[in-house]
Amino acid sequence: MRCEVVAIGTELLLGQILDTNSAWIGEHLAAAGIDAHFQTKVGDNQARMVQALRIALSRSEAVIVCGGLGPTQDDITREAIAEVMNVPLERDQAVVARIRSMFEARGRTMSENNKRQADVPRGAVVIPQTRGTAPGLICPVGKKVVYAVPGVPYEMQDMLERAVLPDLTARAGTRSTIVSRVLRTWGLAESALAELVGPRLDALDAAGSNPTIAFLASGIEGIKVRVTAKAEDRDAALGLLEAEEAELRAILGSYVFGVDDDTMETAVGVLLEEQCLTLGLAESMTGGLVASRLVNVAGSSAWFRGSVVSYASEVKFDVLGVPEGPVVCEEAAAAMAEGARKVLGADVGLSVTGVAGPAEQDGQPVGTAYFGIALDDDTQVVHARLFGDRERIRQYAAISLLDALRRRLLARA
């Protein structure tokens, strides 16, 4: 069974409110094994709402309409659905009584406008409201169905779990589960990543495309590889995911730094803890961005000693012991890492120096970066060229520095 989501509200189109409801519904449809190929937003205009509903019903067996069930004149979801069903609206006095009792329980008087919320398309079934005044609706349209739920998130979520999803799965006849997992990568362009994974994609296509693989470019956080599997139950679906993750890790190797919500800094923290190492940091071009990321990791005080934000050259010379001279170079990065390790009493010294812009420095072009790693009596420096505006260069430098440390720790393990 295919189910679409139609989110109602001009405020969604204007960007005044983010459509988090569609994302929540999509996630729960997938968990129930219901395919969802389209999501639509439409403003508070009956003609356009009717058009959106008819298009959705032309390509899906079920539609969930979210929003437009309030008491004001622009809440016209009921009218739009009735037009699609080609039936009149009928006022349900039992719903009116329920709404009135909710107001009375709060010591308030129900407005006449609230009676509009009891208008039900003929032939529809009311989903009783428990968290707000708006009831939901289950509306048959031939052999298909339209569900109407409120736009208030906690009201919508209650109705989805209590009434809509059980009805959908019963109509589908068979129960299945769709689950996803995201592998997070750093160090490859999207085109290069796709080329590496290409043969695996071809093999999955030949076998029926379950699981499926998709690439999600995430800017300064790298490229995500999403794996989605569908099976009769969650355990079977997870088995497919785990097998595919093993295949992809064999292809991508150390380019994969985490799964789902993992970050580069959590990956680094795990490796430092496993190897019983502490970290001291010296930042120049990133100006504290790396330290900020590290302290966001719960428990980082166990391995992160601190940071010297040596933005001025004099701080590099006087605090970190960098020899006077150019500060955007391999020698300066090495001295900064060694100075951070000494000053902060850490096992690992990590440093970054470079040119974020707007102009070159020490004869080095904008985007130049040097990463120093002092570990086990061996100091290594990685040279990188980063691209973008000043802010993106600084952000790229922060995650690239952490990735350089991650790879050094992986090689040491």
Could you tell me which residues come within 8 angstroms of residue 314 by beta carbon, excluding any fewer than 6 positions away?
none
Last residue of some domain: 203, 227, 259?
259
Asked if 66 and 199 sit in the same domain, the reply is no
Alpha-helical regions (H) of 35-92: 46-59, 77-85
Asked if 14 and 108 sit in the same domain, the reply is yes
Asked if 199 and 226 sit in the same domain, the reply is yes
Asked if 370 and 403 sit in the same domain, the reply is yes
Q: Are 40 and 13 in contact (CB under 8 A)?
A: no
Q: How many structural domains compose the chain?
A: 3
CATH code assigned at 20: 3.40.980.10
Asked if 134 and 226 sit in the same domain, the reply is no
Asked if 368 and 345 sit in the same domain, the reply is yes
- pTM given for the model: 0.75
Full domain range(s) for residue 249: 177-259
- pLDDT tens per residue, range 217-240: 888 889 999 999 989 888 999 999
Last residue of some domain: 238, 259, 280?
259
Percentages helix, strand, coil for the chain (3-state, rounded to 5) are: 45, 25, 30
Asked if 358 and 404 sit in the same domain, the reply is yes
Asked if 219 and 161 sit in the same domain, the reply is no
Asked if 161 and 34 sit in the same domain, the reply is yes
In the structure, what pLDDT confidence band is assigned to residue 4 with cuts at 50, 70 and 90?
very high
In the structure, what pLDDT confidence band is assigned to residue 9 with cuts at 50, 70 and 90?
very high
Q: What is the mean pLDDT of residues 166-178?
A: 85
Last residue of some domain: 172, 194, 224?
172
Torsion of CA 68, 50, 123, 115, to 10 degrees: 30
CATH code assigned at 209: 3.30.70.2860
Q: What is the mean pLDDT of residues 306-310?
A: 97
Q: Are 380 and 373 in contact (CB under 8 A)?
A: yes
Asked if 239 and 348 sit in the same domain, the reply is no
Quote the pLDDT of residue 174.
Answer: 67
Asked if 26 and 141 sit in the same domain, the reply is yes
Asked if 119 and 104 sit in the same domain, the reply is yes
